Structure 1
Amino acid sequence: MTLRIELVVTQGTFALDGGAWDVENNVWVIGNDDEALVVDAAHDADAILEAVGDRRLTAVVCTHAHNDHINAAVEVAEKTGAPVFLHLDDRLLWSHTHPDYSPSYVCDQRRIPIAGTEVEVLHTPGHTPGAISLYLPELHTVLTGDTLFAGGPGATGRSFSDFPTIIRSVRDRLLTLPPHTAVLTGHGPSTTIADEAPHLHEWIARGH
């Protein structure tokens, strides 16, 4: 059975530091005909569960704990019995949205099995302390959450974020992946490592 990655776009609100913004989020479903793994359960649990269908949901993985990436995670988990995975360094951010639910914590280089392959956790902090990317060598794909977009690294102007840290994460953990690697992002269009790598020094200059 063919391993595939499907996209569900959901709409909602991102809230932090006293502000709120309307956003569209990319929710990724990795799997085959029998089982699936959800990355960043955002806003609309029903739409996510519809995409999963009758497959067994093995996990809900959060690339980071901003509310717009996790606000449907607990509902999806409780309706399916799947665990929620999050990096330990985002536990404080998580508690802002889900104070009464404890996820399971993952660390760098953890491998999460799905449909006969493994998703490798890459700790890529900067957008948040516990931001992770998810690498699937078999599919030549990395899911970067809000760490790397088409056009540059994610925002670092709010609480819990740091620009030099995100630059190190992008430079050392993502741009070192094979150039043909597809980059599936938390918002907006996808890109590739080859398309983004030449612009690293531009991003650094722009951030100062």
Structure 2
Amino acid sequence: MAARIEHLVTSGTFSLDGGTWDVDNNVWIVGDDSEAVVIDAAHDADAIAEALGDRTLRAIVCTHAHNDHIDAAPALAARTGAPILLHPDDLPLWKQTHPDRLPDGELTDGQQLSVAGVELTVLHTPGHAPGAVCLHAPELGTVFTGDTLFQGGPGATGRSFSHFPTIVESIRTRLLALPPETVVRTGHGDSTTVGAEAPHLQEWIDRGH
């Protein structure tokens, strides 16, 4: 059974720097009928577990440690026994949400995660958060960008732990270097492609989000 990508949207809140906002998050499941990984266990461990069914969960991969992307990770890990993986540069953010539960493993740039016969390559793409990563799956023609790149521009950089020049450099060097037909599956909202976003890089820089 070939690997496939499944998608669910969960709803909750995002909190940072004293503010709280209602958000809808994309949760991505990559796998086949027997095993899978979850990218960003957001808000609702029950809904994610239901979508997984009886498949073996190999890992819970965090694109970054803002609370809306990790709030359900410990509960999902407890239910499934899967390890939570996070880039260590995001540990300060992680500890704001889960001070008593550390991730189980580290993500590193260039690391490859295997599931259902496909490889997900970790790309460290700081800017939205210091430890933000994207996951490139060339066999599936896709990259999971978390909150680094959206349809229409970079992720937000107006709050703590973020930096606009850094996110632009991450997008320019790591994401826009991918094949233009690569589908960009984001942490919130609609998907896009590398080719659709690449022409707008200079506009983003000029706007200076």
TM range (shorter): over 0.9
The aligned counterpart of 1:122 is 123
Aligned counterparts of 1:106 and 1:143: Cα–Cα separation in 2 = 14
Q: Which moved more, 1:130-139 or 1:100-109?
A: 100-109
The aligned counterpart of 2:83 is 83
Aligned counterparts of 2:2 and 2:134: Cα–Cα separation in 1 = 23
The aligned counterpart of 2:60 is 60
- The alignment status of 1:105 with 2:86, answered yes or no, reads no
Deviation per residue, 1:46-85 (Å, 9 max, x gap):
0000111110000000000000000000100111000000
Aligned counterparts of 2:17 and 2:145: Cα–Cα separation in 1 = 23
Aligned counterparts of 1:160 and 1:144: Cα–Cα separation in 2 = 18
Offset, 1:154:
0.2
Offset, 1:144:
0.1
Offset, 1:100:
1.1
The aligned counterpart of 1:33 is 33
Deviation per residue, 1:23-48 (Å, 9 max, x gap):
00000000000001000000000000
> Following superposition, which runs of at least 4 residues in structure 1 exceed 2 angstroms of deviation?
none
The aligned counterpart of 1:161 is 162
The aligned counterpart of 2:24 is 24
The aligned counterpart of 1:173 is 174
The aligned counterpart of 1:10 is 10
Offset, 1:113:
1.0
SS at match of 1:144: strand
What RMSD over aligned residues (CA atoms) do the two structures have, in Å? 0.6
Offset, 1:106:
1.2
Offset, 1:179:
0.4
Aligned counterparts of 2:179 and 2:59: Cα–Cα separation in 1 = 27
**Which amino acid in 2 is paired with 1:97?**
T
Offset, 1:117:
1.6
**Which amino acid in 2 is paired with 1:100?**
D
Offset, 1:178:
0.2
Offset, 1:22:
0.1
Aligned counterparts of 1:65 and 1:13: Cα–Cα separation in 2 = 14
TM norm structure 1: 0.99
Matched-pair identity in % = 66
**Which amino acid in 2 is paired with 1:58?**
R
Offset, 1:151:
0.1
**Which amino acid in 2 is paired with 1:17?**
D
SS at match of 1:169: helix
1:126-205 map, 5 Å: 126-205=127-206
Offset, 1:6:
0.5
SS at match of 1:20: strand
SS at match of 2:42: coil
Offset, 1:2:
1.7
Aligned counterparts of 1:15 and 1:126: Cα–Cα separation in 2 = 18
Deviation per residue, 1:72-120 (Å, 9 max, x gap):
0010011100000000100010001111111111110011111112110
Aligned counterparts of 1:206 and 1:5: Cα–Cα separation in 2 = 34
Deviation per residue, 1:119-144 (Å, 9 max, x gap):
10000000000000000010110000
